[in-house]
């Protein structure tokens, strides 16, 4: 099957999700640390149950990493997370269905290879991040996307701050089901408004900074877009849901008396939308999730993919 966008045309193949099913669910509360969260372990366990009841994932084909685990191999250290990612994609074949879920802290770090329009890579934080460091989106993409064959489905969910492109995929979709393009006109408008404000104050340095800042950003953004679309497309069928935009945080909250991440809670957000109506297209599901979150949270969940996709297709995992 052929998919195309304005930059290039790339080959990919949709998965029928009729083969092997494997899932990796990670929930990190950072117990006893200054950055402690409350709902992430619940999220991982809720997602495990949901995948089993709704999509037929077997317990023996799921790996769950939480920082309350008694088995040291199931604690979400950097080493265990990377090892589990390797397990998830090992021996993947066309029409297999792989599922990755992460609930924990997320952040950003300086982009060193020029593939990010905003100049920052997205990262997740293992429970031992203070010693071992973070895991960057480029590495997660190399492990969980690049190695997959055409026709293999990976569904990824990131319920963490700054997670819009946490899997390093740049095909973002609007609620109308269309690929979003960088809005350079809007960026220009903001920059020149700032320049005008500086001019009114007699701040000529501010005028220069605003205008040249936009020129540099636009130039870098176009370059990053070319690099990303050249290196981050895949013949595999990879789809990512994230709790918020790259620039936003993702709430750690409480629903029905239980701590949870706002994106992952069984009722009423992502999994509730599917549980209430499992026969939804990707576009409908994106709208359902945003509608459920809009009343209480400012974050805007994102849908992205490793290839141009038809968002009118029914969601399957």
Annotated catalytic residues are 105, 161
Please tell me whether the peptide bond between 268 and the residue prior to it is cis, using omega within 30 degrees of 0: yes
- Residue pair 119/111 in contact by the 8 Å Cβ criterion: yes
DSSP H or E segment with residue 135: strand 135-136
Give the SS3 label for residue 177.
coil
Residue pair 156/290 in contact by the 8 Å Cβ criterion: no
Using DSSP's 3-state secondary structure scheme, residue 2 falls into: strand
Helix H segments across 171-266?
A: 184-200, 204-231
Q: Where are the beta strands (DSSP E) in 206-299?
A: 237-242, 252-255, 258-261
């Amino acid at each position: 099957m052929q998919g195309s966008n304005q930059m290039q045309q790339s080959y990919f193949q949709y998965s029928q999700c009729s083969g092997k099913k494997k899932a990796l669910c990670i929930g990190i509360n950072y117990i006893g640390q200054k950055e402690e969260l409350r709902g992430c372990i619940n999220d991982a366990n809720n997602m495990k149950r949901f995948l089993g009841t709704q999509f037929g994932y077997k317990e023996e084909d799921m790996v769950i990493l939480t920082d309350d685990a008694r088995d040291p191999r199931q604690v979400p250290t950097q080493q265990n997370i990377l090892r589990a990612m390797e397990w998830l994609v090992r021996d993947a074949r066309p029409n297999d269905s792989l599922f990755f879920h992460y609930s924990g802290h997320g952040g950003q770090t300086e982009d060193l290879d020029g593939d990010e329009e905003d100049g920052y890579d997205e990262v997740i934080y293992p429970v031992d991040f203070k010693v071992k460091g973070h895991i960057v989106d480029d590495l997660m993409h190399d492990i969980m996307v690049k190695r997959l064959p055409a026709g293999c489905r990976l569904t990824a969910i990131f319920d963490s701050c700054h997670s819009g492109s946490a899997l390093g995929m740049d095909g973002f979709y609007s609620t109308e089901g269309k690929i979003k393009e960088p809005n350079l006109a809007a960026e220009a408008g903001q920059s020149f408004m700032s320049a005008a404000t500086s001019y009114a104050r007699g701040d000529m340095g501010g005028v220069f900074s605003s205008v040249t800042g936009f020129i540099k950003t636009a130039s870098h953004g176009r370059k990053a877009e070319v690099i990303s679309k050249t290196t981050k497309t895949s013949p595999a069928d990879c789809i990512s849901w994230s709790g918020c935009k790259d620039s936003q945080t993702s709430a750690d909250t409480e629903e029905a008396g239980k701590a949870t991440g706002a994106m992952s809670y069984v009722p009423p957000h992502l999994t509730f939308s599917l549980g209430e109506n499992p026969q939804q297209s990707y576009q409908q599901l994106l709208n359902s999730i945003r509608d459920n979150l809009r009343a209480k949270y400012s974050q805007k969940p994102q849908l992205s993919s490793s290839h141009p996709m038809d968002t009118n297709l029914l969601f399957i995992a």
